[in-house]
Structure 1
């Protein structure tokens, strides 16, 4: 099936430049009975793309018209039968018009009159057309529309616009060499010959609908969809987009069809990238939606048998426990214990007087709080003030009065002497406990390694699995990049495990 679709697209886009994706998506929309809207300035081959796509189907009627504000129902749905009118019957002659067509192209659709647009809503949604006093089933497979603008809000066109599942932004040629080919080459023929064995019949389209719906939406696809929905809700007001439940349902069917025509029984990231063309509604939110979908595919990667967020929590806890057991988490200072209180003992110089011995309360180190030191007997120096200012050194200022009531000014500095610095390896750790922590890190490493091996096997086949005629290869690389990001994340975590294991083993030697 995939080969046939690829060959068909190749014939359809023959002679067209930078329109491969447009042709492919019109074709996918048609064979899933979806409707398509193309946004683009005049002269970008929108109508040519629609006409070319119609040649993919056997024995179908094609209808095309240019809409304008004076468009009448007769131009689109057919003229009133004069013979029937004589019999007081309001019957249209629909042969050769939209109600008789399997494929239709309506250019500049939003410029049409309300009477035409209102009738189109029933035709596109229910495939019914009211002719006289009867509703007839129309053979419409897909309606392709185009305009150089999206519908103005508040004009009652939201329901009709919502029926257009695939929305394509068609820009002028971008590549310099293709622009030169366009100017140098001859006029591109509208008609193209499709080999009989490639052309699609209406009966085949009908037969494909049931197996398409049996395609499974994979867990990886669900992860991406939920992330996309969340990110859309975060868009600012000027880029806001409303995605109806009906649109999500139709989009899911499109993803299933993409997988089906790639000979797969479940969707993958290549299929999800089609949402780039299903969720935007205005020129303002077109690019944000593109970025949201592509980023979601990249960020989700593929499903592995491990929850990395839980692994990170586990690893953080293990690292913390290992550090607490093996590493000094604070400096150890030279102090003296007096009456169950820890002090720094220091000799300080006074200005023009004898030196004095002071006890500095160790609880104030590395704090920003003023306090008074005391003498060796525990008597507070009321006029002498200390402050560590959140450091290991403190300033002593003020003065003191000796036993002869002589006052001496003090302007000195004290620095606490470190016995063991923060970060030094402990020697008094629990060997059994450290071994247990080391084993737990090893278990995590094994799980990470198993998932890395699985991920690497998926990366090897990713290019083939993500190959699809409906999404450009360059866009699909987003999914492959996401897998490589995922692989890098696993490898970094394994490296962290190695560091912790090495740390434990060095201490246990």
Structure 2
């Protein structure tokens, strides 16, 4: 099983160059059973990153382009009348998949956003009074563009809290970007269809094995101390919720599993704390005026807390 994870990560990094940490965190979120909010400028490979993950897992992939006129039924599905059979038929929407890319989620109104987020939380969809279960492996990656604000509907704080991680995809380093250019211009090592390395049944077994990863009381206390301090810091206006502590715990356990350990260390907690918290806290106005970033404040806060031995 550990060898499968190594091969999965190796193949993933060969297809998506220059985003090693984000790829590992995406896989960590998937193992954790959570969902990811992905922020990045256009042209940085967000769609390819998610599609490649689905291909490596042998899962189904759907992409929804969120627009201002998108309706909830365009995501979940609807019922239509079949004139030939004289019955109503349920047409399931694109949400019935294993890995879903919700592209530019901040371009659609709140009602449509809520339909997706409800399905993420409940893992089921209601169509005309009938409830349908979503697949056992169901992973949503919602993207948003940070540089365009006109005609957008920013996700409310309570809805952002539904995502396990918020990841930032930036431009890759010079040499990595040059290799991407080579791949695309010279078609070096390029494949239209990526071969699956595991199947969904094997992936579910891996997810179940994660529950055997142990977390000591000292590490649990360390996690809780991080979350608690976000509520006490004068630099933070709104601290993290209890859901944030749960997210850190689940993600740290999945990260330890990916590192082939059956126990969580404080370093695992440090790695997942920033992506788990950056969309859940809000800086105080005077800190925002000073130009400090959320990531910087989280790093400072985590670094100030004694690490258990």
> Shorter chain as normaliser: what TM range?
0.7 to 0.9
Q: Deviations over 1:32-51 (max 9, x none)?
A: 22101111111111111111
The whole-number CA distance in structure 2 between the counterparts of 1:212 and 1:133 is 36
Are 2:262 and 1:256 equivalent residues in the alignment? no
1:167 alignment partner, SS class: strand
> Could you tell me which residue of structure 2 aligns to residue 129 of structure 1?
125
Q: What RMSD, in angstroms, separates the aligned Cα atoms of the two structures?
A: 3.1
The whole-number CA distance in structure 1 between the counterparts of 2:46 and 2:193 is 16
Pairwise CA distance, 1:184: 4.6
The whole-number CA distance in structure 1 between the counterparts of 2:237 and 2:83 is 49
Q: Measured at CA, do residues 192 and 289 of structure 1 come closer, stay the same or move farther in structure 2, by a change above 3 Å?
A: farther
> Could you tell me which residue of structure 1 aligns to residue 290 of structure 2?
none
Tell me, yes or no, if the aligned pair for 1:243 and 1:279 is still in contact at 8 Å. yes
Unaligned runs of 5+ in 2: 284-292
Q: 2:223 aligns with which of 215, 222, 225?
A: 225
Pairwise CA distance, 1:106: 0.6
The whole-number CA distance in structure 2 between the counterparts of 1:169 and 1:279 is 13
After superposition, where does 1:24-423 map in structure 2 within 5 Å? 24-58=24-58, 60-78=59-77, 80-83=79-82, 89=88, 92-94=90-92, 97-139=93-135, 141-149=138-146, 157-173=156-172, 175-186=173-184, 189=190, 191-194=192-195, 198-199=197-198, 201-236=199-234, 239-272=236-269, 273-281=271-279, 284-293=293-302, 295-296=303-304, 300-303=306-309
The whole-number CA distance in structure 2 between the counterparts of 1:184 and 1:208 is 35
Pairwise CA distance, 1:256: 1.4
The whole-number CA distance in structure 2 between the counterparts of 1:62 and 1:13 is 19
The whole-number CA distance in structure 2 between the counterparts of 1:73 and 1:226 is 37
The whole-number CA distance in structure 2 between the counterparts of 1:124 and 1:84 is 34
Q: Measured at CA, do residues 229 and 115 of structure 1 come closer, stay the same or move farther in structure 2, by a change above 3 Å?
A: closer
The whole-number CA distance in structure 1 between the counterparts of 2:62 and 2:139 is 11
2:166 alignment partner, SS class: strand
Higher RCO (CA < 8 A, seq sep 6+): 2
Tell me, yes or no, if the aligned pair for 1:31 and 1:141 is still in contact at 8 Å. no
Tell me, yes or no, if the aligned pair for 2:36 and 2:165 is still in contact at 8 Å. yes
Pairwise CA distance, 1:166: 1.4
Pairwise CA distance, 1:20: 1.4
In the alignment of these two chains, the number of paired residues is: 289
The whole-number CA distance in structure 2 between the counterparts of 1:181 and 1:162 is 36
Pairwise CA distance, 1:108: 0.6
TM-score (norm 2): 0.80
> Could you tell me which residue of structure 2 aligns to residue 20 of structure 1?
20
Q: Deviations over 1:305-352 (max 9, x none)?
A: xxxxxxxxxxxxxxxxxxxxxxxxxxxxxxxxxxxxxxxxxxxxxxxx
2:131 alignment partner, SS class: strand
Tell me, yes or no, if the aligned pair for 2:123 and 2:133 is still in contact at 8 Å. yes
Q: Deviations over 1:450-508 (max 9, x none)?
A: xxxxxxxxxxxxxxxxxxxxxxxxxxxxxxxxxxxxxxxxxxxxxxxxxxxxxxxxxxx
Question: Looking at CA atoms only, which structure, 1 or 2, has the larger radius of gyration?
Answer: 1
1:93 alignment partner, SS class: strand
Pairwise CA distance, 1:103: 0.8
Q: Deviations over 1:199-221 (max 9, x none)?
A: 1x333343344442332213452
Tell me, yes or no, if the aligned pair for 1:77 and 1:92 is still in contact at 8 Å. no
Tell me, yes or no, if the aligned pair for 2:219 and 2:265 is still in contact at 8 Å. yes
